[in-house]
Structure 1
């Protein structure tokens, strides 16, 4: 890993660009004066003391009581461990907040909020399309009609179908390729009937409860 990559990685852990440069430089130097760190790390002289103070507050750097002061980086393995633990705590907190937000906003997702009309959503990645379909399937209460060229292999889509089955939602799946024979085994195993119809054109259509329909149109880029 190059020095620049290490600096970028430290920034992802929450350090600023100057802090990352100063810490990496100091780790390589062993110990050094602020002026030397500033020069080697390419951190402006006017910013180096603030940068080093911040690193000390984050327990990434130690300072001697000598004159002139010497700075030394804390052992990298120890630092990375602490930064990683801090990020894990941050992610854990964010995950809890995300769950709370989804619970608070849930009323917005009820059927009455579906607005009539034709709505277009441009997407470029297959997973973006699949995520949208998963959202629709999860809302189904009566039936799901799924017409597809290739049966989805995604675990999230399959889990959504199984949830529907448990709720008593009627599932109707039609595949249009013999290549799906292997994937079809999962559907048969879980009691989901699949009809196979070979066709030259392969539309992607998902209909939910007669209230919402998604159609993928391939015209250079997939569009809903």
Structure 2
């Protein structure tokens, strides 16, 4: 990494800690030069002289800079590890205070309108938000929970499901893949194929995931365009499997499945057969 790009990254991270652009510049200049006057800092950091005093006062208030008495005043940085740790702790504490002062008021405002929006359908795009919503719906179940999910999702879901089970909530679970029996639920079925992720709590709220996997190459998520000669097909109604195997120009045999395929090499969006 070049010195210039490294300086830009340091500036960005200092901004994230609440420093203004001028404060970040002054801090880095002072850090490199150990002890400086305000005039020296102003010139080297390219900060207007009338502004530099306010900038240095703010850095002093943040605990990052110490100033000597006398004329001219001299400035130096405090030991960064300790000073930045104290600054970060103050920021976290301030965020907590703001959260505590806001949450009750905002919850009251949200609750007053929540019932009006209850029947709406909302779309979530990122996997992290989908997971969060699934976990929220699971936690809200009071009587019964119906859930279908992929086996690799169980690590995140299992703690919530076990907690529901201990509360006496009836749980029906379907997993797609090869998971072991989940004995903490009332009913568990395993489907060795693909499926749709669905979560329904008390028949009142549902999460329906339309496309969990990335197309087209199942293992890498890369898009693919394949041409080749059909070799054979596999069709199993009981397990819900439909596959076609093709031999490509380089003599490789590739398995192709349909929407949300994960057992095959490729998830197909469109298949054209030319006689």
TM-score interval w.r.t. the shorter chain?
Answer: 0.7 to 0.9
The answer for unaligned runs of 5 or more in structure 2 is 215-275
Alignment of 1:117-132 (within 5 A): 119-123=121-125, 125-132=126-133
Alignment of 1:45-124 (within 5 A): 45-94=49-98, 96-97=100-101, 100=104, 115-116=118-119, 119-123=121-125
Structure 2 CA distance for partners of 1:151 and 1:53, relative to 1, 3 Å: closer
* Larger Rg, first or second structure (1 or 2): 2
Computed over aligned residues only, the root mean square deviation of the Cα atoms, in angstroms, reads 3.2
| Whole-angstrom CA distance in 1 between matches of 2:159 and 2:37 | 59
| Whole-angstrom CA distance in 2 between matches of 1:92 and 1:196 | 44
CA deviation after TM superposition for structure 1 residue 91, in Å: 4.4
Moved more, 125-134 or 201-210: 201-210
Structure 2 CA distance for partners of 1:65 and 1:138, relative to 1, 3 Å: closer
The answer to whether the aligner puts 1:198 opposite 2:198 as a matched pair is no
| Whole-angstrom CA distance in 2 between matches of 1:208 and 1:153 | 17
Greater share of strand: 2
User: 4+ residue stretches of structure 1 with deviation over 4 A?
Assistant: 94-110
The structure whose RCO (Cα within 8 Å, separation 6+) is larger is 1
Aligned partner of residue 66 in structure 2, secondary structure: strand
1:181-216 per-residue CA deviation (whole Å, 9 max, x = no partner) reads 3xx4xx22x3553211233x4111222222222221
Alignment of 1:1-224 (within 5 A): 2-94=6-98, 96-97=100-101, 100=104, 115-116=118-119, 119-123=121-125, 125-150=126-151, 152-155=153-156, 157-178=157-178, 180-181=179-180, 184=181, 187-188=182-183, 190-199=184-193, 201-218=194-211
**2:171–2:185 CA contact under 8 A, matched in 1:** no
Greater share of helix: 1
Structure 2 CA distance for partners of 1:104 and 1:19, relative to 1, 3 Å: same
1:125-159 per-residue CA deviation (whole Å, 9 max, x = no partner) reads 2221111111111221221111223352344x323
1:53-85 per-residue CA deviation (whole Å, 9 max, x = no partner) reads 222233332333443333222232331232133
| Whole-angstrom CA distance in 2 between matches of 1:82 and 1:131 | 32
| Whole-angstrom CA distance in 1 between matches of 2:75 and 2:204 | 66
* TM-score normalised by the chain length of structure 1: 0.76
CA deviation after TM superposition for structure 1 residue 108, in Å: 6.1
**1:176–1:196 CA contact under 8 A, matched in 2:** yes
